[in-house]
Amino acid sequence: MEGNSRGLESADEVLRRRAERVVPGGMWGHMNVARLPAGYPQYFRSARGCRLIDADGRSYIDLMCAYGPIILGYGDEDVEAATAAQRRLGDVMTGPSEVQVELAELFVATVPHADWAMFAKNGTDATTSCVTIARALSGKRKILVARGSYHGAVPWCSPSLEGVTVEDRAHIVYFDYNDAASLERAADEAGNDLAAILVTAFKHDTRRDQELPDPIFARTARKICDAAGAALILDDVRAGFRIDLGGSWEPLGVRPDLSAWSKAVANGHALAIVAGVDRYRQAAARVYLTGSFWCGAVAMAAAVATIRKLSTTNAIAKMAAMGQRLRDGLTAQSQTYGFSLRQTGPAQMPQILFDGDADFALGNRFVVEAMKRGVYMHPWHNMFLSAAHTEADIDDVLEATDGAFRAMRKTA
Amino acid sequence: MEGNSRGLESADEVLRRRAERVVPGGMWGHMNVARLPAGYPQYFRSARGCRLIDADGRSYIDLMCAYGPIILGYGDEDVEAATAAQRRLGDVMTGPSEVQVELAELFVATVPHADWAMFAKNGTDATTSCVTIARALSGKRKILVARGSYHGAVPWCSPSLEGVTVEDRAHIVYFDYNDAASLERAADEAGNDLAAILVTAFKHDTRRDQELPDPIFARTARKICDAAGAALILDDVRAGFRIDLGGSWEPLGVRPDLSAWSKAVANGHALAIVAGVDRYRQAAARVYLTGSFWCGAVAMAAAVATIRKLSTTNAIAKMAAMGQRLRDGLTAQSQTYGFSLRQTGPAQMPQILFDGDADFALGNRFVVEAMKRGVYMHPWHNMFLSAAHTEADIDDVLEATDGAFRAMRKTA
């Protein structure tokens, strides 16, 4: 390894230096650790269960789960056995495989609002497809979107305006998440041109407290769509299968017309799902949606195995319980050490912010100290539990966070 | 299998009937055989080398290569050994792996205009990213696109207008491929607001004769971009690595500023590549481009193995030679049997159309007869050779096409 011949540089530093030459900025997107405090490794060598090994061989309990895709644990044996069997047959071919039908049937049987399903590769593919299908059916154009919600990384919805034209967002009307009056005002603004309301499963914006959906807000969205003949689109890309196997708004009793899924649906294999009710079936068939790898059978076999395992085990309840164990432990530690935390959102998708920490100085210090003790946390993006996190793992996490709080108090 | 208990239905028919209930229209996109004559199987069981087995166990020599992704053959041993090794370590993790740097370095070393590279999942991701990067650098908006060229399946470029708004294409200006005067008129129309010219590697529109790029047209595109400070974007998604390892316009001596790649770059594993010259490096770093699975290491290991094998073997020359062998054989057969064919484009990406066949009646008949004889061809989309097609395979194809021509003549 090049790193070994340069005594002062770590393997991670060597890789960053090499990448700086051949990748713009050295790295891009949500996994760019330039967004994180110094000390975060950029490169990883391997992963198994809930553990990551970085390029320098350091091991971490991972509370990010690849920013969501890993729901049963890295390299889950059942998922990998299913993908190995499919791989021996074929993956991307000149048409789909039987497993595509099997997955569509399983998804429709699992998710109550899904009368049909289609498959793609990115969460952005799924949200963009839902918007296009809604417009195709209604012939209307306006899409209501919550300010600050993340729906993908293309011009109509990117969090950045670099390279975006005004026309890319000409028909996006903004409201405030969980604010029914604001949603009604946006619908009034759209008037007779309302194609859809697009909402995330809960408010999981970065750098802010998370909020579960207010039932009044959710029912208002449903009511507006029903009155206007518009589509209620649930963006379940980030939360899908971590809250409820039937979709994240099932516990609320509010069902969408269309839904976008990705991340965890195939335990880390690249897959996205667009699902919907019968009313949108013909419009979905008319819109031209396609991609070179969208019928790849291996990712579909992974999704079938993932959904089967989620539905036949207590995986979701376990993730919630482990998240609660972490939350309770952190609450106790923060009180012991005199820090004030806000832990928001579903326990299995925790957001942990410090009070009075607008610049994230405390949060950054905390996660760096936790990382030194073998736990990979994020200072301002929600984290993710997987079914591979055991009580013993959470207790190891809490031992590390105890050390982190203690180190912070010493130097406070 | 359900099919066996229903004597009259084939396995393919059973799968279609099941899919009809849970997938809009039963199937979507470019692999939907509703676009093809009756008799085409929709579902495939397995694939190896250049051979496909359909859901009913029938075997075909495949001239579609999954519509392009398969360039070394299905299940290529070197690619699969590389992916198996990476898979044992990790795939999608909480950050990229060393192989991401290795792939970026290899791509930059292989493709002369590439000073940097970034990775995504769909060809559409790559074309959309190039357009956004071009706008980010220039602050200008107009993108010149050839009428009928395919650049992806999202509203700004989809071949369908279902669900598309006027604003999605507000800044797209159209010209005719290979028509330098038409390109100049489009540039005049864009005026001082020209961000980019986006061109496919050659004219490979469906249902039409293919055209290699006219050098005057290519140099005109380069000259317009140089004069305006706009980006020449080469969409090499479909042709990339089948014409020239350095990019499909290398033989022309015209280099793009940005290029979009996908399909064949990882021999069937889901990957797309955005590459560019130094001038666009900072803009590429500023635009927010990301996806849940974009740092997946297995597809990158596949790309490294694919590029190494393409560069250390005569794969591209072999594909061209096998394509020429097919073309010559078909020319001779068509003369023997009294049919007039137009075989256009690069021999390794053949488009085969019958003269006087506006409704594709002859072409449809021909491919159905070839299919009955064990060869999977397409009546109006360009086909793809892979390095796994041997002389013996091409001779088998020609035996089938001889039978197809003979059957057509008998009933003519």
Q: For A41-91, what is each residue's pLDDT tens digit?
A: 999 999 999 999 999 999 999 999 999 999 999 999 999 999 999 999 999
List phi, psi (to 5°) of B119. -125, 145
**C-alpha span between A239 and A247 (Å, rounded):** 9
The answer to whether A121 touches B121, Cβ cutoff 8 Å, is yes
For A304-334, what is each residue's pLDDT tens digit? 999 999 999 999 999 999 999 999 999 999 9
The one-letter code for the residue type at A319 is M
pLDDT number for residue B321: 98
With beta carbons under 8 A apart, name residues in chain B contacting A25.
Answer: 284-285
With beta carbons under 8 A apart, name residues in chain A contacting B299.
Answer: 270
User: Residue A69 and residue B292: Cβ atoms within 8 Å?
Assistant: yes
The beta-carbon neighbor of A296 closest among B42, B135, B270 is: B270
**C-alpha span between A115 and A256 (Å, rounded):** 12
pLDDT, mean of residues B366-390: 98
With beta carbons under 8 A apart, name residues in chain B contacting A107.
Answer: 22
User: Residue A94 and residue B23: Cβ atoms within 8 Å?
Assistant: no
Give the distance from residue A220's alpha carbon to the nearest chain B alpha carbon, in angstroms: 25
User: Residue B101 and residue A18: Cβ atoms within 8 Å?
Assistant: yes
Residue A227's contacts (CB-CB under 8 Å, 6 or more residues apart) are none
**C-alpha span between B275 and B256 (Å, rounded):** 10
Map residue A403 onto helix, strand or coil.
helix
The beta-carbon neighbor of B163 closest among A90, A118, A133 is: A133
With beta carbons under 8 A apart, name residues in chain B contacting A376.
Answer: 94
Tokens of B298: 């297995």
The beta-carbon neighbor of A31 closest among B22, B96, B162 is: B96
Map residue B409 onto helix, strand or coil.
helix
Q: Tally Cβ neighbours within 10 Å of residue A181.
A: 11
Nearest CA in chain B to A12: B98
User: Residue A163 and residue B281: Cβ atoms within 8 Å?
Assistant: no
Give the distance from residue A61's alpha carbon to the nearest chain B alpha carbon, in angstroms: 11
Give the distance from residue A224's alpha carbon to the nearest chain B alpha carbon, in angstroms: 21
User: Residue A285 and residue B28: Cβ atoms within 8 Å?
Assistant: yes
**C-alpha span between A157 and B404 (Å, rounded):** 51
With beta carbons under 8 A apart, name residues in chain B contacting A385.
Answer: none
The one-letter code for the residue type at B196 is A
For B68-113, what is each residue's pLDDT tens digit? 999 999 999 999 999 999 999 999 999 999 999 999 999 999 999 9
How many CB pairs below 8 A link A and B? Answer: 330
Query: What is the spatial order of strands in the sheet that A44-48 belongs to?
Result: A44-48, A51-54, A59-62, A375-376
Give the distance from residue B137's alpha carbon to the nearest chain A alpha carbon, in angstroms: 8
List phi, psi (to 5°) of A344. -125, 165
Give the distance from residue A65's alpha carbon to the nearest chain B alpha carbon, in angstroms: 6
User: Residue A45 and residue B90: Cβ atoms within 8 Å?
Assistant: yes
pLDDT number for residue B8: 84
The beta-carbon neighbor of B22 closest among A29, A98, A116 is: A116
pLDDT number for residue B410: 81
The beta-carbon neighbor of B285 closest among A25, A44, A46 is: A25
pLDDT number for residue A6: 53
Interface test with A, best of B288, B298, B378 (most A CBs within 10 A): B288
pLDDT, mean of residues B304-330: 98
pLDDT number for residue A143: 98
pTM assigned to the model: 0.97
User: Residue A132 and residue B123: Cβ atoms within 8 Å?
Assistant: no
Tokens of A197: 């309301």
Interface test with B, best of A48, A290, A376, A386 (most B CBs within 10 A): A290
Binned at pLDDT 50, 70 and 90, residue B3 comes out as very low
**C-alpha span between A115 and B22 (Å, rounded):** 6
Taking CA atoms, A22 is separated from A339, B30, B297, in Å, by 43, 34, 17
With beta carbons under 8 A apart, name residues in chain A contacting B286.
Answer: 160, 162
User: Residue A66 and residue B94: Cβ atoms within 8 Å?
Assistant: yes
The beta-carbon neighbor of A292 closest among B115, B123, B286 is: B123
**C-alpha span between B21 and B353 (Å, rounded):** 35
Q: Tally Cβ neighbours within 10 Å of residue B191.
A: 11
- CA geometry: angle A280, A282, A285, nearest 5 deg: 110
**C-alpha span between A108 and B190 (Å, rounded):** 47
Taking CA atoms, A289 is separated from A129, A398, B152, B160, in Å, by 7, 46, 9, 9
**C-alpha span between A289 and B101 (Å, rounded):** 32
Residues of chain B above pLDDT 90, percent: 97
pLDDT number for residue B411: 74
Map residue B17 onto helix, strand or coil.
helix
The one-letter code for the residue type at A161 is L
Mean pLDDT of chain A: 97
Binned at pLDDT 50, 70 and 90, residue B1 comes out as very low
User: Residue B66 and residue A92: Cβ atoms within 8 Å?
Assistant: yes
The beta-carbon neighbor of A136 closest among B69, B124, B163 is: B163
Give the distance from residue B412's alpha carbon to the nearest chain A alpha carbon, in angstroms: 30
User: Residue A287 and residue B133: Cβ atoms within 8 Å?
Assistant: no
Residues of chain A above pLDDT 90, percent: 97
User: Residue B69 and residue A293: Cβ atoms within 8 Å?
Assistant: yes
User: Residue B283 and residue A162: Cβ atoms within 8 Å?
Assistant: yes
For A287-309, what is each residue's pLDDT tens digit? 999 999 999 999 999 999 999 99
Give the distance from residue B127's alpha carbon to the nearest chain A alpha carbon, in angstroms: 11
Reply yes or no on whether the pLDDT at A3 is more than 70: no
**C-alpha span between B215 and B197 (Å, rounded):** 16
For A107-122, what is each residue's pLDDT tens digit? 999 999 999 999 999 9
Enumerate helices (H) and strands (E) in chain A, giving the number of each.
Answer: 11, 13
With beta carbons under 8 A apart, name residues in chain B contacting A153.
Answer: 288-291
pLDDT number for residue B308: 98
User: Residue A41 and residue B95: Cβ atoms within 8 Å?
Assistant: yes
Burial class (CB in 10 A: 0-12, 13-18, 19+), A250: middle
Which residue has tokens 């064990």? Answer: B374
Give the distance from residue B237's alpha carbon to the nearest chain A alpha carbon, in angstroms: 10
Nearest CA in chain A to B124: A291
For B172-229, what is each residue's pLDDT tens digit? 999 999 999 999 999 999 999 999 999 999 999 999 999 999 999 999 999 999 999 9
Binned at pLDDT 50, 70 and 90, residue B11 comes out as very high
List phi, psi (to 5°) of B240. -50, 130
Reply yes or no on whether the pLDDT at B253 is more than 90: yes
Nearest CA in chain A to B54: A97
With beta carbons under 8 A apart, name residues in chain A contacting B10.
Answer: none
